[in-house]
Structure 1
Amino acid sequence: MGFRKRMEGPAALGLLLSLAAAAQAPQGAYQQAARLPARIVSFTAQPALIQAGQSSTLSWSTENPSAAEIQPDIGMVGARGSLQITPAVTTKFTLTVHGPNNQVLTRDLVVTVAGSVPAAATATQGGGKNEIPRMPDGKPNLSGVYNSGFPGTFFQGGPAMNIGGVAQPDETKPALKAGAEKFKVVRGPNDAGPSANCMPPGLPQSYFLPYQWQIVQGLNSVVILYEYPHLFRVIPTHGGPHQPDLDPTWMGDSIGRWEGDTLVVDVAGFNDKTELTGGFRHTEALHIVERFRRTAADTLEYHATIEDPNVFEKPWVVSRKFPLRTDLERVDEFVCENNKDYTGLFAK
């Protein structure tokens, strides 16, 4: 659409990997709070009538959202905030809030640019360079190889570091519960972490390594292939519940569903052997809700809400945008041999 936006984002979270043991999970008090219905308190534009080249400020406030987004072209946002926009033409903005039990709320407003034609009237009708591809059933086609966009040096341990992708404004920092300090990762100088032994990194950190990952989408399922360390997930998109008594696994059990153009994936049934982005261990009570949305033909937005009532005071959010690798058709094979006999692996 061609408007500019300006907002403050939190510092990028860190990425640390290792093995850990954790306690069994009592139910956390914040889980009950998370079941409260979501609510849109306010959504305003000041001023709502502007001249060409002038700016308006969007402000919003919500309660108990599991996710919130503003369209067009803004994407995922926090529970409350404001940003400055400079639309080129009259534009309708929609705030969409997701709550518990598949609750979806929306509220619209219009920023009028004097003398302009509304954006909907000037939109490209098919065939545009940035048109989002779609499946035969009309759902967005998320298929493709995506780049972590890793911005810095890969580093295990020590202070927090930048992770892959472009940080979004709704990203939040985790807060440990009182008495849960044992779940914070502390490494010694010779501890390279579990990646040195080719252990699965788990979620959501599998997206943030300096390797590619690929989505292969069908009509009833989505497959995600991770180049490192050659992991995969098969995600049915029927939206049903998880099976009872899941066997704990490294990548958890994934069930997907579509909410409009957003693929929502509920992940449970984790073991306690991975580390979370930011340098925290977790228990088997870990629960992650992922949201995938193609914001443009060459961009995928990823949003993960992470909760573990044994470790964190409340759910926290990792939110990134990843570029599509149009030059790649698939991820490469990756061989990981625990660094124990690396030379012998290639001996003839």
Structure 2
Amino acid sequence: MQGWAIWARAAAGAAALAMSGGASAQDAAIPRADGYAEIERLPDFTGVWNPDWSLLFGDSGRRPTEPKLTPPAQDKFNAFRAKQAEEGVDQSKQVECVPPGMPGIMRQPYPIEFLFTPGRVTIFAETYSQARRIYTDGRPLPSDPDLLFNGSSVARWDGDTLLVDTVGFSPVTEIAPGIPHSDKMTIRERIWLDTPDILRIETTITDPEVLAEPLVQQLAFRRQADWEIREYVCQENNRLVSAEGGANVDLGLDDEDDPFGPPPGE
């Protein structure tokens, strides 16, 4: 009789669990952090955004603002340009598939995508399949940050504009090709919707050891509703294929050492 009672109680419990959609009492007791309600009130950054230079300069032929360098930094840049002209090659580290990091990752001719989650905005860049994690949970900037390609970023909303501050950059990254930064570089970004399908970013780079004055640059992106971010594996095609239309970088690999094998047609 006692065994029957135990079985009946177990059956009743199973029926109750099934009627509740499978949620246990323990699950019901765990409060769900509902930060998503706040996200619904934020500007709509969803979708894939493609850089569009025509939104900045049209047909004027204007170019992005050039940095004004301190005398020591200018001397180093002049040496870089002289070597570049003499050797006829690109001296930037991207020829070896090293990601550009900040600020270069945001200036690539490839799309980006935003993801809003409670306490964080994540920017996915198709270039090098990179992700920037920007924390909006109220934390301060780290006083002794790890040195990362994309730095450490925190942000806050000022109305419909996202204000992002970033510090702590890998010494491998550069302000621009041939212009390395110091450990004092900081970056402030203003990100906002100009229209529902036009997103703009104003980037201010400050580095008292390299820049004679803060460098302010503009970016503009157009929403592409039917696009998806694609996989980007630099090493996969980063080799000479042919004299016409092929990659312009030879990593020095013999065919037998090349993990992707010999170029097609050879």
Q: Which runs of 5+ in 2 are unaligned?
A: 1-36, 240-250
Hey, what does 1:217 align to over in structure 2? 116
User: Larger % of strand: which?
Assistant: 1
Secondary structure of the structure 2 residue equivalent to 1:179: helix
Distance 1:189 1:292, change over 3 A: same
The AA in structure 1 aligned to 2:161 is T
CA–CA separation in structure 2 for the residues paired with 1:319 and 1:141: 20
Of the three residues 103, 110, 114, the one matched with 1:204 is 103
Higher relative contact order (CA 8 A, sep 6+): 1
1:106-128 per-position Cα deviation (integer Å, ceiling 9, x unaligned): xxxxxxxxxxxxxxxxxxxxxxx
User: Larger % of helix: which?
Assistant: 2
4+ aligned runs moved over 6 Å, structure 1: none
Between 176-185 and 267-276, report the one with greater CA deviation: 176-185
- Bigger-Rg structure (1/2): 2
Percent identity between matched residues is 31
1:238-275 per-position Cα deviation (integer Å, ceiling 9, x unaligned): 24311222111111111111111001110000122122
Distance 1:301 1:191, change over 3 A: closer
Secondary structure of the structure 1 residue equivalent to 2:105: helix
CA–CA separation in structure 2 for the residues paired with 1:342 and 1:238: 49
Hey, what does 2:52 align to over in structure 1? 149
Please give the root-mean-square deviation of Cα atoms over the aligned residues, in Å.
Answer: 2.8
Distance 1:136 1:269, change over 3 A: closer
Whether the aligned pair in 1 keeps the contact of 2:113 and 2:124 (CA below 8 Å) is: yes
Alpha-carbon offset, residue 172 of structure 1: 4.5
Whether the aligned pair in 2 keeps the contact of 1:167 and 1:320 (CA below 8 Å) is: no
The AA in structure 1 aligned to 2:72 is G
Hey, what does 1:323 align to over in structure 2? 222
Alpha-carbon offset, residue 229 of structure 1: 0.8
The AA in structure 2 aligned to 1:210 is P
Hey, what does 2:259 align to over in structure 1? 345
Of the three residues 224, 228, 231, the one matched with 1:333 is 231
* Number of equivalenced pairs: 200
Of the three residues 224, 227, 252, the one matched with 2:126 is 227
The AA in structure 2 aligned to 1:189 is G
Distance 1:347 1:174, change over 3 A: closer
Hey, what does 2:201 align to over in structure 1? 302
1:200-237 per-position Cα deviation (integer Å, ceiling 9, x unaligned): 11222212222222111223211111111111111111
CA–CA separation in structure 2 for the residues paired with 1:208 and 1:342: 33
2:87 is the counterpart of 1:194: no
With normalisation by structure 2, the TM-score equals: 0.67
